[in-house]
Chains A and B, each alone.
Chain A
């Protein structure tokens, strides 16, 4: 049932067929080095990392691809398979088609050459992937953290990331404010119980106008009347 739904979703994707065609072109050139994985947006996995720079350059320069726009570079962590994927979304303004390329890197030492030379805009995207996932882009001109401070420990978008307890003396976690209110209520209640104080609800200092009857009292009177009537 679930598998059918997945198949249905994939069939409805208008870009799926185009992506398969583009992959076929890549496979014709690079053969065994690339592999297609099906999804709503199918993607090419470059298995042979030595071929990776050539594949990316081919995407940009080949007349059949002309992928001049690098939409994003990002990463996905898969700790169960102990790999990290570096994901590249590319688009061609001239030919109006898009493709997704991935490389699967070992989680212990994820290293892959930079694509900065092909698309200059990769600079910051790769810095972000390095900062948040710890993927090292070899040959990058300025591989520093971008979102987090330079002396931050760990890469937050990894699934096993544990946040450091404090950063330069500032705590990174904080108790829920609701807990504090609960504690306060408990302490008050305890104090009252110890002293044996009976809490009387506060009366409003504002007096109601003359002849005003509260709805509650009215209801009571009505009930009494009804009872009398029955009697």
Chain B
């Protein structure tokens, strides 16, 4: 009797330190999240990065301007084409040959970039579904991604580190019949997005795992420098392709999807996920317009073999799959750059994990981190 009346014991409280990574499956590459938690509830997350630092910026100072081109696709190997494009653009700006690049080359670049964006979102959204527990949709995406890899192989001969763009144009014209094959694939692919939505995006369990998790309000997203789909999911309508127009993007009709709180608050993990799905549809739209209105002509401008700009500097940004990818290039009148800085989306997306995580559950951190779409080599460079 007396035992039953004894007051309940205070629950045992203790701060626990947990290492997620560097080789945790949910970190998608070698990133270490130091998680401090009380049971399941997280009090602090410290991202430790740098495991994939390959000093690409230092290499940029040692090789020639053309020689750095193959290194740029190692910056972000999930969407290498957009990384190529940014570097080509910044050197073209520095040389003042942006308007000499043939229109057909710009169209080729758009085709490659948009295909790459779709392929990158396949990996991003697919692994996100997988991290939360469903494997099948991921395999569907990888099946589609294989076809894109085939296209990339036709364009440039590689299936992972695509290197197609050159300073002043592209490496080669699109192969014969390429446009027909891509259009055929688009007809096949667009219904599959709906199929994917039925299987994963509208799944009740999936929605409940993501909705209202890791909400980033618009102001916080801007303050912490989020870019690309992560920024747009927070309701900020900004796309480099629309707002700082480059290449031939102003010629195409497409929308910029933003997060509207599809199943929860604006800027939650689900919004970040679903913005990417919507973006794939927009990329399909751009691809169709681009392939149907392809101009004839050269694919490469006449660029001197030896590139040697005067002492000068420029910054150029492209909308990569993970948002604004900026190249800051300083030249000193030599054959190699004096300084190359690559500004990537994953860097700030990992940084925001620290202020965003306190108060969430350990299981939510996995979903939250997956929704940020961090690619380790792009983060560490």
Contact = CB atoms under 8 A, between A and B. Distances in A.
Partners in one complex: yes
A121 B326 contact: no
Interface stretch (A9-17, A22-30, A174-182): A9-17
Contact of A6 (B49, B310, B315, B330): B310
B76 interface: no
Contact of A71 (B57, B243, B324): B324
B96 A5 contact: yes
Interface in A182-217: none
B314 A69 contact: no
B315 A5 contact: no
Interface in A42-84: 43, 68-72, 74, 76-77
Contacts of A156: 55, 58
Given A121-B223, A132-B57, A89 B315 contact: yes
A101 B329 CA distance: 15
A123 B347 CA distance: 11
A76 B310 CA distance: 17
B93 A40 contact: yes
Contacts of A123: 351
Interface of A: 2-3, 5-6, 8-13, 39-41, 43, 68-72, 74, 76-77, 87, 89, 93, 96, 98, 100, 119-121, 123-125, 132, 145-149, 156-157
A4 B98 CA distance: 17
Interface residues of B, number: 41
A39 B343 CA distance: 20
17 contacts: A6-B309, A6-B310, A6-B312, A9-B93, A9-B94, A9-B95, A68-B222, A71-B315, A72-B328, A76-B339, A77-B339, A89-B315, A89-B326, A93-B222, A121-B224, A145-B50, A148-B50
B312 A39 contact: yes
Given A9-B96, A69-B225, A146-B49, A74 B328 contact: yes
Contact of B338 (A71, A76, A89, A119): A76
Contacts of A149: 50
Contacts of A146: 49-50
A226 B315 CA distance: 69
B223 A119 contact: yes
Closest 10 CB pairs of A and B: A9-B96, A121-B225, A6-B310, A40-B314, A147-B50, A72-B343, A147-B53, A124-B351, A74-B341, A12-B96
Given A6-B310, A72-B341, A124-B347, A12 B330 contact: no
A3 B312 CA distance: 11
B298 interface: no
Interface string B343-381: 100011001000100000000000000000000000010
Given A5-B95, A71-B326, A146-B49, 12 more contacts: A9-B94, A9-B95, A9-B96, A9-B309, A10-B312, A13-B93, A71-B324, A76-B330, A76-B338, A87-B328, A100-B315, A124-B348
Interface SS of A by simple majority: mixed
Interface string B225-260: 100000000001010000110000000000000000
Contacts of A13: 93, 96, 314
Contacts of B195: none
Nearest to A43: B313
Contacts of B355: 120
Nearest to B51: A147
Contacts of A39: 312-314
Given A12-B98, A76-B330, A87-B328, A41 B314 contact: yes
B223 A120 contact: yes
Nearest to B237: A93
B194 interface: no
Looking at A5, A41, A43, which has the most chain B CB atoms within 10 Å of its CB?
Answer: A41
Interface in B66-101: 93-96, 98-99
Nearest to A93: B238
B380 A147 contact: yes
B73 to A, nearest CB: 20
Contact of B58 (A5, A70, A157): A157
B312 A147 contact: no
Contacts of A124: 347-348, 351
Contact of A89 (B96, B244, B328): B328
B225 A119 contact: yes
